Structure 1
Amino acid sequence: MNTDFIDAIHELEKSKGVSSEVLFDAIEAALISAYNKNFGSKRNVRTVIDRETGEITVYSCKTVVEQVEDDRTDISFEAAQKANPNYELGDIVEEEVTPRDFGRIAAQTAKQVVVQRIREAERGVIFDEYVSREDEIVTGLVQRIEGKTVYVDLGKTEAVLPPTEQIANEAYKHGNRIKSYILEVKKTTKGPQIIVSRTHPGLLKRLFELEVPEIHDGVVEVKSISREAGSRSKLAVSSVDDNVDPVGACVGPKGMRVQSIVNELNGEKIDIVRWSDDPAVFVANALSPSKVVSVNVDEGTKIAQVVVPDYQLSLAIGKEGQNARLAAKLTAWKIDIKSESQVKPQEPDKSKLDAEEGVLQEAVNVDTAGTAEPKED
């Protein structure tokens, strides 16, 4: 060890963010194990690295006792008094036992410790960086695919895209650039593990924040999202500025803003609706693109009775009930949809009534004609 080693330690402190004292302490602790391993000693030893010269010194530490039980760890009171009359029972006597060829062993040990500590420090830096970015979007390249699990290269580290967080109809190929949502960052024995998602509603919200400046600036607010990843989503937005149309801001000129998000999600359909604090209005908006005739809400049961035109019933419900299901998730209301004909009172058929009245009158006439009047005597 020499001054070059000391300079290297301080350089690592600057470049890797690992405290030099942490490295020195770790090396000194490792040198104790190296000493005992290489010199067959079970002594209680202490190692010291000179912070300026890099010189290493090994000391054997013995406790002053009345009766020695183990000469590797104990020293008699008489022997200690000969070395220094100031020693008392229980004191620690240190004796230098630095081996002649200990420098080579120390250098090898120091290298292993430094490499390990740097690796641990880098893992810590990565963990701290990404744990603070949970619920945000990251862009990466598909690095490899093992089974159904996709590994995404983020540059400094890789993220895991598990099968449960993948869009069903999406194909992942090596080298593809994808945006994903940081779901969770965990510490493991192999370093930080970053779990990302392509199906989380948060991904849709973050994509709109990237594409729509009004959302990023807080002028337009995303109130709620309901999503069936890969198929269709609904987004409820409102504006704090009456002069800004929240839906128009999200759609963008000629639909360019929303279209870029649709492309990123491989064609997932997105309905953008205006949020309202009036549940009836919000439910009606949420059923877009269907038109709504009326909405009756029950605050107690959180059920909304919705009436739509007959020709809009299938559109309001959607394929396999998707539109109604997404609207219910978006509004947090149970929605009961009926057509106008289903709720309109059934009016009697006039032609049918006329026919029935005619039959009845004919029966009365026949009955009258067949009745005999009593004769007078």
Structure 2
Amino acid sequence: MLEGKRIVLGVSGGIAAYKAIEVCRRLVDAGAHVSPVMTAGAQHFVGSTTFSALASEPVRTSLWEGSDPIPHTTLGQGADLVLVAPATARVLAAYAHGLSTDLLTNILIATRAPVVVCPAIVAAAERALADRDLEGLNVVVTAGGTREPIDAVRVIANRSSGKQGHAISQECVRRGANVTVVTTTDLPTSPTADRIQVETAAEMQTALDSVAPSADIVIMAAAVADFRPKDSVDGKIKKAGGIPEVILEPTPDLLEAIGRNRHPHQTIVGFAAETCDLVSNARSKLERKCLDLVVANDVSAEGVGFAHGTNAVTLVSADGERDLTLRSKAEIAVGVVDEIVRIRTSMRSVDAGRVNPTN
């Protein structure tokens, strides 16, 4: 997978810099062409000679060394990936604010390649930077629209992009959950999340059968087809044969099955894409399918729903509704996960009251 790929390995100053030596060695062993770049701070922790010996070319440490007048452009724009390991708080702050303080940060600004950063911060600082209210919980998130084959070429599909589901999975990872993403899309997932790639409703059902029973939270953001062809043709149906008759059959209701077979302490979240009667339809789904929360959106509204980078939703639970007005799907994800945490906290309070009733 890495054979022939050009990877810029950025090493910044921190005690974790010594671990980058092993990262470099393994990348080279996997067939990658590794160009190491060290900050001044990194050179206080590990010698540049070590990286030069292991990597595919000598270490770069400065904008002004060597014959290349624009090393940041040469390296950044020629890379398939820029990996910063470790990434200190200084490098992360400079990157976030677009500051070009040295060769490495100039490369980060110049590159068009994917950038992967491995923050090097102590556990106490990490906890201060992010809520960890899902720490240790197993979360399953489905994303994207299923595709049901008519023949070898044509499918019945829907317009779901999977962006909202993937944003929610990223937010769950950020909060400390062990996340499994069951997706039909090619959108990236967090390196720490497990990924199960599926296409059809049947494949998604098989995946969920294996991971949902052990989950603390199941978030069904995928748009699963309601119908599929009863008989799929192996080859391509030719136009010369006239208009084909495609007989449909219902797909299994995956959300309802999970809701009805849930464990007592699971939290189950469904989604409802509607064009009218948003809250009443969502509340009906909540009750029929034994859910804790329904995330409902009006896909006919401007800037909302399929393929957009923004969304607006109403969160419908047993104790009311909460509107999240138009905002980015990442911000919607924060609101959805906040509501899940609130519901779970409320459930624990009720359970505690049953165990220790007050007079």
TM-score range, shorter chain: under 0.3
Between structure 1 and structure 2, the one with the greater Rg is: 1
Give the TM-score normalised by structure 2.
0.23
Q: TM-score, normalised by structure 1?
A: 0.22
